[in-house]
């Protein structure tokens, strides 16, 4: 918070006494007498004006001081949370959930504005999949070769600006999405860069194309828009103020994070647990989960952050479970230590959860805890939670569990604990 100084007025210098030169004695007396009366009245008025000004300055100064104290009090009472994590981990979805849960959600105008983004997600998804069909090794063939002209149509859209989504776009996209060859390519999406919401919105083409379509909260949560810059969301829970900062997760966005580090109550580090078999967009080589581990380590060991605890959101548990149960991408093929890993004694099996999923999610948890315990000095702690950012009830429950932790961090921050 910047410094603001109180205003204190000083007195004006005294006015000079007028001189009348070598006038006749009588004239001098008369001149001095008349001039004295005039000068005295004028001086009195100036003195009174000065008193009024000083009084106004003191009042203004008190108002400034009072305002500064109030701002400082509110600032100290506010919990500032910094959302960090690699790209496409689900940070922005967490922010959307806070709006739904604590800021009356999204109004009709905001929902309307998101329709274009949702349509763009559908377009990006089908373009990416049909492009990958020819680029993968081995390539993927259409189940119905007669759909080739539909692929040609989609590929020709890539260079079009201000696309208006005509009816034939939805027809071609829907038909392609029903082709078993396209579905087979989608199943290999870990081999190329595809947005997580691809299946969700491709399954909803008939709904999205309607003129009267209004996005649901779930549609807004699933909608993917690249985060660039820093976005602040303010909300209140049980009369406690929270400010949550969301910043871009791609490598070129991370340099902006340092601007938010000052006086942060806690860091919420978000991980895409399902990304163990994927590579990052930036270089198409680095494993996404390994990138998240490296980033977490750099934040945990940063000398400027040694007193800030980290709440670890092991996100996308729904997608992780799907991959583990499908059995097509084995974790040990990407993280060999998993082959020797056994489910820990502190593991809690969720209702109806497959033991294979439990083992996988706790392995990923322990990979992060191994970093925090190896270099922990007792000044900050790591609190892991399993999350599904698109599940509002899950986020409600997890955030409620985190509030006590955040409160303790806040009290410790201002040496009240």
| Residues classed as catalytic | 88, 93, 224, 246, 250
**Residue 318 annotated as part of some ligand binding site:** yes
**Residue 134 annotated as part of some ligand binding site:** no
Residues 6+ apart with CB under 8 A from 200: 222
| The two three-digit tokens of residue 33, written as one number | 């007498």
- Tokens 């105008």 belong to 109
- CA-based angle 171:174:176, to the nearest 5? 105
Cα–Cα distance between 292 and 155 in angstroms, integer?
33
**Residue 248 annotated as part of some ligand binding site:** yes
| The two three-digit tokens of residue 48, written as one number | 């009174």
C-alpha dist (Å) from residue 151 to 106, 121, 133, 138? 36, 17, 10, 18
**Residue 224 annotated as part of some ligand binding site:** yes
- The two beta strands, 230-237 and 240-247, are antiparallel
**Residue 339 annotated as part of some ligand binding site:** no
**Residue 250 annotated as part of some ligand binding site:** yes
Residues 6+ apart with CB under 8 A from 306: 377, 379, 380
**Residue 279 annotated as part of some ligand binding site:** no
Cα–Cα distance between 332 and 340 in angstroms, integer?
9
**Residue 81 annotated as part of some ligand binding site:** no
3-class DSSP state for residue 320? helix
**Residue 62 annotated as part of some ligand binding site:** no
- Of 271, 262, 244, 358, the C-alpha closest to 304 is 262
**Residue 128 annotated as part of some ligand binding site:** no
How many Å from the N-terminal Cα to the C-terminal Cα in the chain? Answer: 23
3-class DSSP state for residue 342? coil
**Residue 316 annotated as part of some ligand binding site:** yes
**Residue 78 annotated as part of some ligand binding site:** no
**DSSP state at residue 277:** G
**Residue 112 annotated as part of some ligand binding site:** no
**Residue 91 annotated as part of some ligand binding site:** yes
Asked if 208 and 118 count as a contact pair (C-beta separation under 8 A), the reply is yes
**Residue 387 annotated as part of some ligand binding site:** no
**Residue 92 annotated as part of some ligand binding site:** yes
| The two three-digit tokens of residue 404, written as one number | 């006590």
- Residue ranges for the known binding site are 88-93, 221-227, 246-250, 315-318, 389
- Residue ranges for the known binding site for Mg(2+) are 92, 227
- Residue ranges for the known binding site for GTP are 88-93, 221-227, 246-250, 315-318, 389
């Amino acid at each position: 918070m910047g410094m603001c100084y109180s205003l204190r007025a000083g007195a004006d210098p005294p006015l000079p006494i007028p001189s009348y030169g070598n006038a006749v004695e009588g004239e001098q007396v008369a001149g001095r007498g008349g001039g004295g009366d005039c000068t005295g009245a004028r001086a009195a008025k100036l003195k009174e004006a000065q008193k009024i000004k000083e009084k106004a300055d003191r009042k203004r100064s008190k108002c400034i001081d009072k305002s500064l104290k109030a701002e400082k009090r509110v600032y100290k009472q506010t919990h500032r949370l910094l959302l960090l994590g690699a790209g496409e981990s689900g940070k922005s979805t967490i922010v959307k959930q806070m709006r739904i849960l604590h800021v009356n959600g999204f109004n009709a105008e905001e929902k309307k504005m998101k329709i274009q983004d949702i349509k763009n997600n559908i377009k990006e998804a089908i373009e990416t999949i049909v492009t990958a069909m020819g680029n993968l090794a081995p390539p993927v063939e259409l189940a119905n070769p007669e759909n080739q002209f539909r692929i040609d149509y989609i590929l020709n859209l890539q260079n079009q600006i201000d696309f208006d989504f005509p009816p034939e776009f939805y027809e071609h996209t829907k038909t392609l999405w029903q082709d078993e060859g396209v579905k087979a390519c989608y199943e290999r999406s870990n081999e190329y860069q595809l947005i997580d919401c691809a299946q969700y919105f491709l399954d909803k083409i008939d709904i999205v194309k309607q003129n009267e379509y209004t996005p649901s909260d779930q549609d807004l949560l699933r909608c993917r828009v690249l985060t660039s810059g820093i976005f602040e969301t303010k909300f209140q829970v049980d009369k406690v103020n929270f400010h949550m900062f969301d910043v871009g997760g791609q490598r070129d966005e991370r340099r902006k994070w340092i601007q938010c580090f000052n006086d942060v109550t806690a860091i919420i580090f978000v991980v895409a647990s399902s990304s163990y078999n994927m590579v990052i967009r930036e270089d198409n080589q680095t494993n996404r989960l390994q990138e998240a581990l490296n980033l977490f380590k750099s934040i945990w060991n940063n000398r400027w952050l040694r007193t800030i605890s980290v709440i670890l959101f092991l996100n996308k548990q729904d997608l992780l479970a799907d991959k583990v149960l499908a059995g097509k991408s084995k974790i040990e093929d990407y993280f060999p230590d998993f082959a020797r890993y056994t489910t820990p004694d502190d593991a809690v099996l969720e209702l109806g959860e497959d033991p294979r999923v439990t083992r996988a999610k706790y392995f990923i948890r322990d990979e992060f805890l191994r970093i925090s315990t190896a270099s922990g000095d007792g000044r900050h702690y790591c609190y892991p939670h399993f999350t599904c950012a698109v599940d509002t009830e899950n986020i409600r429950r997890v955030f409620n569990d985190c509030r006590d932790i955040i409160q303790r961090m806040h009290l410790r921050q201002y040496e009240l604990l």
